[in-house]
Structure 1
């Protein structure tokens, strides 16, 4: 199977490893790709966010399948353009991608289809927003979200009125361009956050989905969840204290209304939805939709999935997904991010990496190869990922592997999964205080 993979990061590298390890032989192409991906296939310096450019390449080279990694190409309409030249795509069209591309659109979708979520207001007017802040009924922090894509930086939890006013004024003045000229205000939700991925295949005549194991990401740069937010410093799954009944509740209250809503609204969905969930005292509530696999959650899910990935993604792309339980490997998977000095503010690039032999999987996320030497070339540089019989064993395997990989200034959290492990060992559940 000839596969074009759009993207260049750790998520795409993890998917590429899984594609190449499948029973179905895969000839892999990546755009724009990376030096890491170049070791698994052929990279092309295409503008992966330009629908015309990607569709023209597909029309000329006729891949069997296009797999879109990041959200920006989906929001830009790349999947629509590729489907128009009769090439199957694992990735949603632009209309469905608005679930991530516009937070106001997503909130209206949730409310229209009765999906539990935070109370919210969408504002485009300066005076209206300032008045709302001064009379905010839900307590602090106020969650302010730029409506559009803002490279993961468009969400602020304002701790008081002054911070809320300053944030709102900066957003509306164009801090993130057009992406922040519409602002969504939300009540704060308290509880345990988790990531739920769902393969979805929905059109006017067909609606099928398949759940992947729930994962938990760790966003803060420092251990014990301190410091600024990042794109994710590590993840694990499944969550050891999440019971089958809890998963069924998320299926019933969040997933199935979403799938029905997609069909009712006439939205073509052929890809994955990544639901950000907060499990509150009142049960699961939806924080947001993402229309692509999470990073670093993908690195975990690819370790757990016991399916022929090219065939599975093709089923979705061609509208042939049959609702079923996916085949999974037993046990727990974990990934730990190794980040550059200065991340997340400004990553130091060009630092030589010592990369020794290790029994765990090394995933390239932000690296460059020069004269046979791997160098740092991004914020999140490498991931170490593995699977083990349980979370404690998975953590131990990563800890044993860490000394083999290092460079000056490397940042790593050694507590990925530790809080959840203690929660489970204490006999607590998802309903208990986190």
Structure 2
């Protein structure tokens, strides 16, 4: 048996907690560090490291000092800033694409040009660098109209404008706040799906499909957020439509990475919408999604640490095996999220039960108790035999909690259960 693995996970949220948890479940793993991590993770055996995800020098020194085998990057900002390039130049193994490829998430315009070049179905779009040109072009577009900030916006840079006045206000606001470039996209109708492709030079494998809930409030109302909950599997998706997603989107996307000689060892997230004309890509991300990771990884029968180790060591990726279970997760967020989240609410003492996991996000510890630190605070995830059972279990657990200064959506999974 090989020496047991020491792994560093970069990031601080519930996604990273779920990744650390999956690694700790492996008999091949000795220690999982997380930088910077959060106070809640420590309850499940994760060793947090007080280093920023953008402190590349400090992180590399930590990896060398602790003889860490490899690093797994959770968040997009570190990837877009070039953490992979920095680690590889130092001869360190790291899971995540290089900065050139990370532009697939770092720039909406870059991603849309990539899709066009490789004939991947997506929305009609137009990119603008000047406010007056964007305003003048509104007469060429129908409403609702999707307007996106070009750069990273943590899932909150998308506005669906219902009428001309909304669009004018959005364009003016984005350029006034320093946005250099924005994109118009036609509004596509249909259910959205999250598809995660793990890629290395030898091939790719697809993780269990999930559906995320982006809007803050029930019935998909309110502003876009980083995600308020997710579930997997997605029984409403027909097998024929899933096959089209692989043939028309996944395969040309992976081929595009090869054609453009991207150094891509990592996850390509494909946000898809199933329209009446077939699947179309809404966006690429270059890492696992949050909150989907929290419901996807607990469905893997394959040892995740061994799988990532194979990926990094350029082995052929074995087909992933899934459990026959369903997972559903609900995000508990601070009142006022995403625009103006409250801070400092005392969180209840949360205990995990059979079939229930807690993945922590924006929390801090004060005098032995966990407090909210703004934004999304933690996720409650249930694993059960069926989606209705997982949904019932999650909400029964949450309803017992005192959650002052918090809110959550009460309809996660509804589209699958109609």
The yes-or-no answer on 1:149 pairing with 2:148 is no
Deviation at 1:58, TM superposition (A): 2.9
Query: Map of 1:78-93 to 2, 5 A cutoff?
Result: 78-93=83-98
Any conservation in 2 of the 1:201–1:269 contact (CA below 8 Å)? yes
Tell me, in whole angstroms, the C-alpha distance in 1 between the residues paired with 2:168 and 2:107: 22
The yes-or-no answer on 1:34 pairing with 2:28 is no
Paired residue secondary structure (1:117): coil
Deviation at 1:43, TM superposition (A): 2.1
Any conservation in 1 of the 2:41–2:359 contact (CA below 8 Å)? no
The yes-or-no answer on 1:299 pairing with 2:294 is yes
Any conservation in 2 of the 1:104–1:147 contact (CA below 8 Å)? yes
Unaligned runs of 5+ in 1: 423-434
Q: In structure 1, what is the equivalent of residue 16 of structure 2?
A: 12
Tell me, in whole angstroms, the C-alpha distance in 2 between the residues paired with 1:410 and 1:162: 32
Deviation at 1:95, TM superposition (A): 0.7
Tell me, in whole angstroms, the C-alpha distance in 2 between the residues paired with 1:352 and 1:211: 39
2:327 equivalent among 326, 333, 336: 333
Structure 1 residues 356 and 90: alpha-carbon distance in aligned structure 2, compared to 1, 3 A threshold:
closer
Tell me, in whole angstroms, the C-alpha distance in 2 between the residues paired with 1:86 and 1:164: 48
Any conservation in 2 of the 1:22–1:310 contact (CA below 8 Å)? yes
Q: What is the CA deviation profile of residues 302-347 of structure 1, one whole-angstrom value per residue up to 9, with x for unaligned ones?
A: 110112111111222232242x531111021111111222222222
Any conservation in 2 of the 1:354–1:404 contact (CA below 8 Å)? no
Tell me, in whole angstroms, the C-alpha distance in 1 between the residues paired with 2:175 and 2:362: 32
Paired residue secondary structure (2:404): coil
Mean Cα deviation higher: 186-195 or 24-33? 24-33
Q: In structure 2, what is the equivalent of residue 49 of structure 1?
A: 54
Structure 1 residues 346 and 165: alpha-carbon distance in aligned structure 2, compared to 1, 3 A threshold:
closer
Tell me, in whole angstroms, the C-alpha distance in 2 between the residues paired with 1:76 and 1:277: 26
Paired residue secondary structure (1:275): strand
Deviation at 1:168, TM superposition (A): 2.0
2:223 equivalent among 221, 224, 228: 228
Query: Map of 1:351-370 to 2, 5 A cutoff?
Result: 351-357=345-351, 358-359=353-354, 360-370=356-366
Mean Cα deviation higher: 224-233 or 77-86? 224-233
Q: What is the CA deviation profile of residues 70-95 of structure 1, one whole-angstrom value per residue up to 9, with x for unaligned ones?
A: 00000000011111222211111101
TM-score normalized by the length of structure 2: 0.94
Deviation at 1:356, TM superposition (A): 4.7
Q: In structure 1, what is the equivalent of residue 167 of structure 2?
A: 164
How many residue pairs align between the two structures?
A: 411
Structure 1 residues 266 and 127: alpha-carbon distance in aligned structure 2, compared to 1, 3 A threshold:
same
Any conservation in 1 of the 2:14–2:294 contact (CA below 8 Å)? yes
The yes-or-no answer on 1:392 pairing with 2:381 is no
Paired residue secondary structure (1:29): strand
Unaligned runs of 5+ in 2: none
Any conservation in 2 of the 1:274–1:293 contact (CA below 8 Å)? yes
Q: In structure 2, what is the equivalent of residue 247 of structure 1?
A: 242
Deviation at 1:38, TM superposition (A): 3.2
Structure 1 residues 345 and 171: alpha-carbon distance in aligned structure 2, compared to 1, 3 A threshold:
closer
Tell me, in whole angstroms, the C-alpha distance in 1 between the residues paired with 2:192 and 2:308: 27
Any conservation in 2 of the 1:144–1:183 contact (CA below 8 Å)? yes
Structure 1 residues 404 and 24: alpha-carbon distance in aligned structure 2, compared to 1, 3 A threshold:
farther
The yes-or-no answer on 1:403 pairing with 2:406 is no
Tell me, in whole angstroms, the C-alpha distance in 2 between the residues paired with 1:125 and 1:352: 45
TM-score normalized by the length of structure 1: 0.90
Any conservation in 1 of the 2:20–2:34 contact (CA below 8 Å)? no
The yes-or-no answer on 1:350 pairing with 2:362 is no
Deviation at 1:22, TM superposition (A): 1.1
CA RMSD of aligned residues (A): 1.7
Deviation at 1:23, TM superposition (A): 1.6
Paired residue secondary structure (2:265): strand
Any conservation in 1 of the 2:129–2:181 contact (CA below 8 Å)? yes
Structure 1 residues 244 and 26: alpha-carbon distance in aligned structure 2, compared to 1, 3 A threshold:
farther
Tell me, in whole angstroms, the C-alpha distance in 2 between the residues paired with 1:301 and 1:101: 24
2:79 equivalent among 74, 87, 110: 74
Structure 1 residues 97 and 321: alpha-carbon distance in aligned structure 2, compared to 1, 3 A threshold:
farther
Q: In structure 2, what is the equivalent of residue 200 of structure 1?
A: 199
Structure 1 residues 93 and 356: alpha-carbon distance in aligned structure 2, compared to 1, 3 A threshold:
closer
